[in-house]
Amino acid sequence: MKTFGANVRRERCAKSLTQEKLAELASISTRNLQKVESGELNILLTTTVRIQLALRCPWKRLMPSE
């Protein structure tokens, strides 16, 4: 989860989105997004899909290759 969270943070920053804005776009709480980015929270697959769609980036940029 740490790699996924780091990748989410990288993509969010590359798109100049705040945590608050990405959380709003993905329909999750800002606190949960903070936990995702820090690797503290195991999230449901449906939540990862909402984050991926909100970021509008391919899966390979979010998911670890190993």
> What pTM value is reported for the model?
0.91
At residue 24, φ and ψ (nearest 5 deg) are -65, -45
How confident is the model at residue 65, as a pLDDT? 72
Question: pLDDT tens digits, residue range 39-65?
Answer: 998 899 999 999 999 999 999 999 877
Q: Is 46 helix (H, G, I), strand (E, B) or coil?
A: helix
Question: Per-residue b/e over 38-62, b at no fewer than 16 CB within 10 Å?
Answer: eeebebeeebbebbbebbebeeeeb
Local confidence band at 37 (pLDDT 50, 70, 90 cut-offs): very high
Cα-atom radius of gyration of the chain, to the nearest Å? 10
